[in-house]
Amino acid sequence: MSSTEIIIIGSGIGGLSCGALLAHYGLEVTVCESHSIPGGAAHSFQRDGFIFDSGPSLYSGLSYSPSPNPLKQVLDAIGEPLPCLNYDTWGCYLPEGNFHTSVGAEQFGDILQQIRGKDAVQEWRKLQQVMKPLAEASIALPPAAIRFDWNAVVTVSKFAPELLRKSSQVLKLIGPFSHIADEVISDPFIHHWLDLLCFLLSGLPATGTSAAEMAFMFADWYRPGVVLDYPVGGSGALVDALVRGLTKNGGKLQLNAHVKQILVKNNRAMGVQLRNGDSLRASGAVISNASVWDTLKLLPLDSVSQQWRRQKQQTPPCGSFLHLHLGIDGKNLPSDLPCHHIVVNDWEKGIQSPQNVVLVSIPSLLDPSLAPPGKQTIHVYTPGNEPYHLWSQIKGNSEAYQQQKEQRSQVMWQALERIIPDIRERISVALVGTPLTHERFLRRYQGTYGPAIEAGKAFFPGPNTPIQGLWCCGDSTFPGIGLPAVAASGMMLANTIASVEQHLHLLKRLS
Ligand SMILES: Cc1cc2nc3c(=O)[nH]c(=O)nc-3n(C[C@H](O)[C@H](O)[C@H](O)COP(=O)(O)OP(=O)(O)OC[C@H]3O[C@@H](n4cnc5c(N)ncnc54)[C@H](O)[C@@H]3O)c2cc1C
């Protein structure tokens, strides 16, 4: 049996952030990834010269340091630059009409003036005032300072005076964002808009999204001179940067290495057994970056109490996705076509309603290297609102599957036709993805976006498990599904495993 100090199950952004930092701290790390491509939900793949993002395309806070974005903090910590292209505008296709909007405080006020009038503008300005101190509070303690043991007293102490000054605001960050929005906003459109932003952040409306997540977003999106980022080379470039961070310090990434079981002896995680029969021993720790439901499948039946297992199994999942990955002829597209677009069909159906919200990303408009000359790469998806149960009984190779794919993908084609009317005549490559694709290629239970844990009703569990030496990171552990949150989860766990001296040294370097 070969051995290492730390085994990480999964090379999602959470696992890679953790692994790259642990390798930076001098630990011997092996990441076992089931897929042939690293990156999990953020991997990219190629077809016929087009480079596609499988998932994320919205990034911010990556172009400057020190940044409140934990992902940027990880990249800075491991010394891996990630060149980004910048933009500030995206297209909206809403029941109220179509418009382009920008990040930053001012321009959305102009849109509101046009579609809702001056009272709505005043309410928006009031919300910004209310959010300003909350936004400052949300970034008063950098995630890089947090660790999950008593030494946190030492690493957080430098930030304590600032935190104390903001303590009244910090308490408000604990509940759902709707508590704050409801006090200030009566305009129905602004409520819908905020629900949309919350949904894109957490997979839940304002009633379930934590105020801290939204405050963090306000801190990032409404600062002066704000721009959004897109990594040169797409999401694969981010994955490559983290993999470089891992391997340059001696860490290993094993692809096609599906973990079948976590080996547990006397309530201690000893290593993993792979599907190909190999075993790998861990002298320090085993870290699962797989989702909570997928991690449970890896635990021997008698290794944890039935009660703990049941409780974890009952974590509610967000819905799944439909995807269209298209390679198209880019001739005569409008010169001001933004890279990103949001389509909402009907606010009254509710923001989580299936087939209601469609996102479109055309990243090759920013980075032409993602498509052959004269072509464009498009990713359309319904974000976390496709019910898994509609697909769970269908066989992936059946006629019924093809028919359902054809039928349920129409909403994405129709959304795209509002942006590029002759889209169907431009196609070179068209791939439709479903919850079954998601489940299979991302190795995610029910193809879910992540846990639907409602702010104010339950807490994300953090990295601990009842088994010694077994930790978790990724979107099942830390609030705010998305790259900043999963990077934070990986970074905080790596800092917990490192010595307090190493951690303090890192903090000094980052500041
Ligand atoms: C379509 C889509 C669009 C998104 N858009 C954005 C966006 O614009 N901005 C943003 O910030 N976030 C976005 N997100 C969310 C973000 O991509 C995810 O929250 C994040 O990538 C999840 O990272 P993770 O490390 O928690 O887990 P994952 O990415 O799920 O990684 C887990 C890894 O573990 C591996 N694994 C699982 N089981 C095993 C096993 N038994 N053995 C070995 N390996 C295993 C999997 O193959 C996978 O690689 C989007 C997500 C999707 C799906």
What DSSP designation does 361 have? E
Q: Is the residue at 76 inside a domain?
A: yes
Q: Which atom of ligand 1 is nearest to the CA of 297?
A: 41
Predicted local distance difference test score (pLDDT) of residue 224: 80
Q: Are 242 and 206 part of one and the same domain?
A: no
Q: Which atom of ligand 1 is nearest to the CA of 473?
A: 26
**Residue having the nearest C-alpha atom to atom 51 of ligand 1:** 55
Residue ending a domain, among 169, 189, 221, is 221
Q: Is the residue at 440 inside a domain?
A: no
- Would you state the structure tokens that stand for residue 382, as one six-digit string? 């319904």
Q: Are 160 and 250 part of one and the same domain?
A: no
13 lines ligand 1 (CB under 6 A): yes
pTM: 0.96
CA distance 88 to 101: 8
Residue ending a domain, among 192, 221, 250, is 221
Q: Is the residue at 184 inside a domain?
A: yes
Q: Are 211 and 256 part of one and the same domain?
A: no
375 lines ligand 1 (CB under 6 A): no
- Among 17, 30, 33, 341, residue to substitute to test ligand 1 (most atoms within 8 Å of Cβ): 33
Helix-helix angle 235-247:13-24, to 10 degrees:
30
Q: Is the residue at 341 inside a domain?
A: no
**Residue having the nearest C-alpha atom to atom 32 of ligand 1:** 12
CA distance 61 to 59: 7
Predicted local distance difference test score (pLDDT) of residue 164: 86
Q: Which atom of ligand 1 is nearest to the CA of 59?
A: 9
Residue ending a domain, among 221, 248, 281, is 221
Q: Are 260 and 202 part of one and the same domain?
A: no
**Residue having the nearest C-alpha atom to atom 18 of ligand 1:** 482
**Residue having the nearest C-alpha atom to atom 12 of ligand 1:** 482
75 lines ligand 1 (CB under 6 A): no
- In angstroms, what is the span from residue 184 Cα to ligand 1's centroid? 35
**Residue having the nearest C-alpha atom to atom 7 of ligand 1:** 56
113 vs 109, 118, 122, 194, CA distance in Å? 6, 5, 9, 17
CA distance 44 to 115: 38
Q: Which atom of ligand 1 is nearest to the CA of 474?
A: 26
**Residue having the nearest C-alpha atom to atom 1 of ligand 1:** 55
Q: Is the residue at 399 inside a domain?
A: no
Q: Are 150 and 113 part of one and the same domain?
A: yes
Predicted local distance difference test score (pLDDT) of residue 476: 95
- In angstroms, what is the span from residue 64 Cα to ligand 1's centroid? 24
Q: Which atom of ligand 1 is nearest to the CA of 288?
A: 34
Q: Are 194 and 261 part of one and the same domain?
A: no
Predicted local distance difference test score (pLDDT) of residue 218: 86
- Among 259, 357, 481, residue to substitute to test ligand 1 (most atoms within 8 Å of Cβ): 481
Q: Is the residue at 349 inside a domain?
A: no
Q: Are 310 and 458 part of one and the same domain?
A: yes
CA distance 462 to 472: 8
Q: Which atom of ligand 1 is nearest to the CA of 258?
A: 42
Q: Are 72 and 176 part of one and the same domain?
A: no
Predicted local distance difference test score (pLDDT) of residue 379: 98
Q: Which atom of ligand 1 is nearest to the CA of 32?
A: 43
Task: Split the chain (511 residues) into runs of 10 and give each run's mean pLDDT.
Answer: 95 98 98 98 97 96 92 97 96 95 84 94 94 90 93 92 84 88 96 94 91 89 87 98 98 98 98 97 98 97 95 95 98 95 96 96 98 98 96 94 98 98 98 97 96 88 95 94 95 97 95 83
- Distant-in-sequence contacts of 400-406, Cβ < 8 A, 24+ apart: 401/434, 401/436, 404/434, 405/432, 405/434, 406/432
Predicted local distance difference test score (pLDDT) of residue 338: 96
- In angstroms, what is the span from residue 407 Cα to ligand 1's centroid? 27
Please say whether the beta carbons of 53 and 41 come within 8 A.
Answer: no
Q: Give me the domain span that covers residue 290.
A: 2-42+61-82+232-315+454-510
Predicted local distance difference test score (pLDDT) of residue 396: 87
Q: Are 123 and 215 part of one and the same domain?
A: yes
**Residue having the nearest C-alpha atom to atom 45 of ligand 1:** 10
Total tally of structural domains belonging to the chain: 2
Q: Are 292 and 189 part of one and the same domain?
A: no
Q: Is the residue at 400 inside a domain?
A: no
Q: Are 288 and 203 part of one and the same domain?
A: no
- In angstroms, what is the span from residue 242 Cα to ligand 1's centroid? 14
Q: Is the residue at 168 inside a domain?
A: yes
Dihedral sign, Cα of residue 120, residue 122, residue 127, residue 132: positive
Predicted local distance difference test score (pLDDT) of residue 154: 95
Predicted local distance difference test score (pLDDT) of residue 189: 96
Which residue has 């890679």 as its token pair? Answer: 16
Q: Are 72 and 112 part of one and the same domain?
A: no
40 lines ligand 1 (CB under 6 A): yes
**Residue having the nearest C-alpha atom to atom 4 of ligand 1:** 56
